[in-house]
Amino acid sequence: MFDWHQTFVLRWDVRHLEHDIIYWDIVVVTTLDNVQKDAYDTLIQQRSTINRIPLGVDYLVITDPGKIGNGGSTMHAMHVLEQQYGWEILRKKRILLIHAGGYSQRTPTTSCLGKIATSIPKGVIKFINKP
Alpha-helical (H) ranges within the chain are 4-7, 34-49, 69-85, 87-90
11 occurs within a structural domain: no
32 occurs within a structural domain: yes
Q: How far apart are CA 68 and CA 40, in angstroms?
A: 20
Decide: helix, strand or coil at residue 27.
strand
Domain, as residue range, for 75: 23-117
Q: How far apart are CA 23 and CA 57, in angstroms?
A: 8
* Paired strand residues for 101: none
72 occurs within a structural domain: yes
Q: What is the pLDDT of residues 44-89, one digit of tens each?
A: 999 888 877 888 899 999 999 988 888 899 999 999 999 999 999 9
Q: What is the pTM of this model?
A: 0.71
Q: How far apart are CA 98 and CA 90, in angstroms?
A: 17
Number of separate domains in the chain: 1
128 occurs within a structural domain: no
